[in-house]
Structure 1
């Protein structure tokens, strides 16, 4: 069993990784490798975070990380000819963690659907795969659609 002080430290570490990811492209001297590095850090830290008991705070933070990664993944897509990382390599662990936390927190399908709708509204690069939530959404799976992309 993991103690709660270790869980709090894991949450703080993941929060720092999310903050670093959000800031990676704010300066004038960043490279695609910087985006890849923060993405890989997010993927590693989210696995550690999910090894601890599920909390609503962890779920909220993972959602923030998904939105930030979605934005950063646009840079990888634009520079696909020089990247070593596919956007899905980072998105998949983040979404797996999100799905796992929703399940472990025993959220009802209505709340999961609302959370997914909010994520979809904020993610512009199709990072969120609604189909992977079908078993958690039940009858609500058909009510969620990705916003139309231009």
Structure 2
């Protein structure tokens, strides 16, 4: 057997095995998984909808998975993105942040949204509804700036 054929067979075996060993999904049964965050920051209905559409999949305890998440290695790639996203900001863990960290996270939201770094381009490729207009970016930024005032740290 030629080396290329051996490599192809090995890759096929790895691919098949990956279909049976999947990363854990980021799903919760708790309907209030962002309740503390929303209660403290008081987003309008419009901002809540924008956060749900653009942020919560990667930055909370509940992800709405697309059909293609059932295919490895995509499932691993998405799991890594979600883990990384929650490592930076986890709306479901908001009650465990101190006031200074909450203020800083809101400041980062403003920066990331204004600089068009969030939502990630990889996310908006497959989630057209997550593409923010300039007006929506300004709406999120204004809400986050107002929410920062609740923590008494912003100058």
Relative contact order, higher structure (CA 8 A, sep 6+): 2
Alignment TM-score > 0.5, same fold: no
**What interval of TM-score do these two structures reach, taking the shorter chain for normalisation?**
under 0.3
- TM-score w.r.t. length of structure 2: 0.26
Larger Rg: 2
TM-score (norm. length: structure 1): 0.27
